[in-house]
Structure 1
Amino acid sequence: ALPVAWTKYWGKGHIFYLALGHDKKACEQQIFGLLLVRGALWIAGLHS
């Protein structure tokens, strides 16, 4: 099995990878938006 999302610290930065969202139907799923927003907040340093 392969992960659909992962995170990594890189020096002073962050890396977030999301393998979902290759078509319109996938992007319309609520979980896709949630993962994307949370990943963006994490790389911006705004996570709690």
Structure 2
Amino acid sequence: MHKIQDRPVAENGEIVIRPMMYLALSYDHRIIDGQDAVRFLVAIKEAI
């Protein structure tokens, strides 16, 4: 996880400033399918 920073975002056709951060996930492709990893990150995003 990175720090939260104000970043420009397009919202309803306008540019607004919103607090955002990057979230990354590392996993072993030999054990975890990429699609499962994406589903996990989507669930985290929705929970936040």
Q: Shorter-chain TM-score: which interval?
A: 0.3 to 0.5
Q: What TM-score, normalized by structure 2, do the two folds share? A: 0.33
Which of 1 and 2 has greater Rg? 2
Write 1 or 2 for the structure with the bigger share of helix: 1
Write 1 or 2 for the structure with the bigger share of strand: 2
Q: What TM-score, normalized by structure 1, do the two folds share? A: 0.33
